[in-house]
Amino acid sequence: MVNSKNQKEESQVSLAQFVYPFIRPHILTIVFSVIAMSIYALTTSAYAYLAGPILKMLLWKDSNPFQENQWFGENFLEKLFDVQSLSQISLFVVIILVLSVIRSIAQSLEAYFVGKAGQNIQMDIRNAFGESILGTLPLGLLKARKGDMVTRLIADINMMEMAITHAAASILRDGLQTIFLCCLLFYLNPVVSLIAIVVLPAGTLVVYAIAKKIRRAFKQAFDKRGYVASVFMEVARGLPVIKIFSAEQKIIDKLKSANMLLRNQMIKGITLQALSYPVIEIITTVAFLMLVVISWNQSKEACDNPERLISFFATVLLLMRPVKSLGSLVSFLQQGIAATRRVQAMFVLQKDVSPGALKPSPLQQEITLKDVCFSYEGREILSGVNLVLRRGEITALVGESGAGKTTLIELICGFLRAASGNIFWDGMEYEKFDTVSLRERISLVPQEPFLINASIEENILLGRNESFRKNLDWAVNASGLQSLLKKLPDGLKTSVEEEGSSLSTGEKQRICIARALISDCDLVIFDEAASSLDSRAEDAIQETIEKIKGQKTILIVSHRLSTINFAQRVFVLAGGKIVETGTCGELSKQGTEFYKLFRSQIER
Ligand SMILES: Nc1ncnc2c1ncn2[C@@H]1O[C@H](COP(=O)(O)OP(=O)(O)O)[C@@H](O)[C@H]1O
Ligand SMILES: [Mg+2]
């Protein structure tokens, strides 16, 4: 119990700490809007102040409404305008017009500065969001659904910013108005005003009581919104599969039920929020009525001083709007807090920074895995793997699907951290290195080819230093890309649209291979890179490997005997351990795990 309370307080503190850095750079813009808001608030008080004298003038045709009650000591209005030369009515026309011009300029400046600060804040949060995701171990992101992530990026950040600016604007504008009007009220009738000053904050507390429920409801609703987005993403990606298996109805049902969940949860939040409005309305009205009744009984002097009484009531009436607005803010803010928590969750993923600061030197000897263990959610995938990749050698890693080959590669690339055991680069533990420098020494051709929306050339040079451009021709050659480039009029400058949807998987894979070869890295890993290539293309991979043999250390994962045949050493992964090691020839004997895996290809 104590623990959960502590945790809650901690997370509340961290929410403010999380939001503040995004607001800080835009303080100046916010200050400008505060100035505009203050002017706006002051004009509201001025209207209230003027209500009495105006009505008095209209009703009694008073000769000079300001002379009898010099409320501000000296008659400042009389000083400000040459009252004698103006008729009473034109004086009012001028005052009201001037006030209204000031008020409208202040209002539009406020809207501009608040909007500008809001957009700046949104942009900064989105940038930080992107940086945070890229600085994260992929492990955390694999779990996050892509559609949900996009909703966090767009909808939740938008909601978060709206809450920040809306809250800042409302607290400042309505808060300032309330303060000014309360001061005026106090000046006009100090005793009665004390009641307002006590009752109104008490009312806000009542609203706060339902605020927590509202927040929880909206948090769940926003989670559902993420789920709906991910279902839509599924539809967009899987259209051919959905169509060929006539699964349209099933998918539509899934979409509908996801949408229904979202709708229900949103309505729950909206209902709770709607419930808070009458509460605010009733509290404000009760406070107002109390003021009226008490001042009614108290005001014997009313007849002597009618404009004072009118000003007092005008002030009370004007006070109701900002007070209600502040009350509704409490419940509106809950949506912002719910959205902020979802955005914040993407900032606390496990950070992808290796503790060390060393830069690995080019590989001299070997990369060694010693007793490496790794689990996914308690399920052990690797349980004590020992493996050596010698410099300049070709090593093959084989095993059934799901044996953990890709996981092993992700550990070598520093995407995942071993639960126990260690990986050594020339005898030095991985922890001692800075992950980024370590990855500069490693290239990977992943199982799924990945291209960005840019030219083929940019895709090949992705993230690498410009100085490697000199290797471009060689990499294109070695990866067998020439035949594709010949077909394209713009060659290397051809742009790849929509992650390469106009290219075949094999063509995409060759671009990925060229990318892996362009830098002067030491280790090149092919994770089933040939599996999406036809057999002639597979020959090209073998040629590639032949070309870089000796220059680079190579690790291949493949299900084809002909590719594995190139390897000087083969490791067989089964049951989370390396169960056999040797050359292809040595392992191709009956009874070995290797033989079982490649039986059909060996016996051919
Ligand atoms: N992100 C993940 N979360 C949970 N389990 C995972 C994850 N990635 C892979 N696995 C599981 O780990 C096992 C090994 O996967 P993988 O290394 O991809 O196998 P291989 O590449 O040998 O086919 C599989 O059983 C797979 O289901
Ligand atoms: Mg794999």
Kindly state the percentage of the chain with pLDDT values over 90. Answer: 29
Report the run of H or E that residue 166 belongs to, with start and end: helix 157-188
528 Cα–ligand 2 center, Å = 7
210, 331 Cβ separation under 8 angstroms: yes
381 Cα–ligand 1 center, Å = 7
| Phi, psi dihedral angles at 74 (to 5 degrees) | -85, 155
557 Cα–ligand 2 center, Å = 8
Q: Which amino acid is at 270?
A: I
Q: How high is the pLDDT of residue 72? A: 46
- For residue 189, give the nearest of 71, 34, 271 by alpha carbon: 71
Q: Which residue has the higher pLDDT, 236 or 339?
A: 339
Q: How high is the pLDDT of residue 558? A: 87
Nearest ligand to the CA atom of 401 = 1
CA gyration radius, the chain: 36
Strands 394-398 and 420-425: what pairing?
Answer: unpaired
Q: Is the pLDDT of residue 131 over 80?
A: yes
Q: Is 472 exposed, middle or buried (0-12, 13-18, 19+ CB in 10 A)?
A: middle
Least confident of 253-257, 347-351, 387-391: 347-351
Cβ neighbours of 463 (radius 10 Å):
8
The vertex-129 CA angle with 124 and 135, nearest 5°, equals: 125
Nearest ligand to the CA atom of 448 = 2
The vertex-87 CA angle with 85 and 91, nearest 5°, equals: 90
Whole-angstrom distance, CA of residue 171 vs CA of residue 38: 11
Give the tens place of pLDDT for each residue, 328-375: 888 888 999 999 999 988 887 766 656 677 888 899 999 999 999 999
Buried b / exposed e along 482-493 (16+ C-beta atoms within 10 A): eebeeeeeebbe
129 Cα–ligand 1 center, Å = 27
Whole-angstrom distance, CA of residue 299 vs CA of residue 316: 16
C-alpha separations of 292 from 191, 280, 313, 317, 490 in Å = 13, 18, 8, 10, 81
If you ran DSSP here, which 8-state letter would residue 156 be given? I
Report the run of H or E that residue 380 belongs to, with start and end: strand 379-390
Q: Under 8 Å CB-to-CB from 142, ≥6 apart: which residues?
A: none
Whole-angstrom distance, CA of residue 180 vs CA of residue 45: 7
Question: Which atom of ligand 1 is found nearest the CA of 403?
Answer: 22
376 Cα–ligand 1 center, Å = 8
236 Cα–ligand 1 center, Å = 25
Buried b / exposed e along 415-424 (16+ C-beta atoms within 10 A): bbbbeebebb
Mean pLDDT score, 224-245: 87
Question: Which atom of ligand 1 is found nearest the CA of 407?
Answer: 17
Q: Is the pLDDT of residue 68 over 90?
A: no
Mutate to test the pocket of ligand 1, among 380, 400, 406, 559 (most ligand atoms within 8 A of CB): 406
Residue 51 falls in which region: left (phi positive, over 0), alpha (psi -120 to 50) or beta: alpha
- For residue 396, give the nearest of 535, 168, 140, 594 by alpha carbon: 594
As a three-state string, the secondary structure of 362-420 is: CCCCEEEEEEEEEEECCEEEEEEEEEEEECCCEEEEECCCCCCHHHHHHHHCCCCCCCE
Q: Is the pLDDT of residue 489 over 70?
A: yes
Dihedral sign from CA coordinates of 413, 416, 421, 427: positive
Whole-angstrom distance, CA of residue 304 vs CA of residue 461: 87
- For residue 317, give the nearest of 47, 72, 70 by alpha carbon: 47
Helices (H), 61-87: 65-68, 76-80
328 Cα–ligand 2 center, Å = 53
Looking at ligand 1, which residue's alpha carbon is closest to its atom 25? 402
Mean pLDDT score, 321-334: 84
Which tokens go with 296?
């009614």
Residues with CB under 5 A from ligand 2 (ion): 405-406
- For residue 188, give the nearest of 108, 287, 291, 329 by alpha carbon: 291
For the CA atoms of 37, 38, 44, 49, what is the dihedral angle to 10 degrees? 180
308, 52 Cβ separation under 8 angstroms: yes
Whole-angstrom distance, CA of residue 361 vs CA of residue 372: 23
Whole-angstrom distance, CA of residue 226 vs CA of residue 229: 5
Give the tens place of pLDDT for each residue, 133-188: 887 766 656 556 788 888 999 999 999 999 988 887 788 778 888 888 888 888 88
Mutate to test the pocket of ligand 1, among 146, 372, 375, 376 (most ligand atoms within 8 A of CB): 376
Protein residues whose CB sits closer than 6 Å to any atom of ligand 1? 142, 376, 381, 399, 401-407
Give the three-state DSSP class for 442: strand
C-alpha separations of 449 from 322, 444, 453 in Å = 57, 10, 13
354 Cα–ligand 1 center, Å = 23
Cβ neighbours of 325 (radius 10 Å):
18
Q: Which residue has the higher pLDDT, 496 or 299?
A: 496
C-alpha separations of 134 from 137, 138, 139, 460 in Å = 8, 9, 12, 20
Give the three-state DSSP class for 514: helix
C-alpha separations of 593 from 176, 248, 370, 408, 559 in Å = 78, 43, 22, 19, 14
Q: How high is the pLDDT of residue 71? A: 47
- Strand ordering across the sheet containing 577-582: 442-445, 523-527, 553-557, 394-398, 569-574, 577-582
Beta-bridge partner residues of 369? 387, 423
Which tokens go with 266?
């949103």
Which tokens go with 152?
């966090």
Give the tens place of pLDDT for each residue, 543-583: 788 878 888 899 999 888 888 888 899 999 999 999 999 88
Whole-angstrom distance, CA of residue 567 vs CA of residue 369: 18
Nearest ligand to the CA atom of 144 = 1
For the CA atoms of 405, 407, 413, 419, what is the dihedral angle to 10 degrees? -130
Question: Which atom of ligand 1 is found nearest the CA of 142?
Answer: 1
Average pLDDT value for the chain: 82
Q: How high is the pLDDT of residue 198? A: 74
273 Cα–ligand 1 center, Å = 44
435 Cα–ligand 1 center, Å = 22
Helices 248-298, 306-345: crossing angle, 10 deg rounding: 150
Whole-angstrom distance, CA of residue 89 vs CA of residue 93: 6
Looking at ligand 1, which residue's alpha carbon is closest to its atom 24? 402
Q: How high is the pLDDT of residue 8? A: 40
Dihedral sign from CA coordinates of 443, 449, 455, 456: positive
Give the three-state DSSP class for 189: coil
Mutate to test the pocket of ligand 1, among 349, 381, 409, 410 (most ligand atoms within 8 A of CB): 381
Least confident of 141-155, 219-233, 399-413, 577-591: 141-155
Q: Is the pLDDT of residue 85 over 60?
A: no
Looking at ligand 1, which residue's alpha carbon is closest to its atom 2? 376
* All structural domains of the chain: 11-345 (1.20.1560.10), 354-441+522-530+552-604 (3.40.50.300), 447-520 (3.40.50.300)
Looking at ligand 1, which residue's alpha carbon is closest to its atom 9? 407
Question: Which atom of ligand 1 is found nearest the CA of 528?
Answer: 21
Q: Under 8 Å CB-to-CB from 557, ≥6 apart: which residues?
A: 396, 397, 398, 405, 406, 409, 525, 526, 527, 528
Looking at ligand 1, which residue's alpha carbon is closest to its atom 14? 404
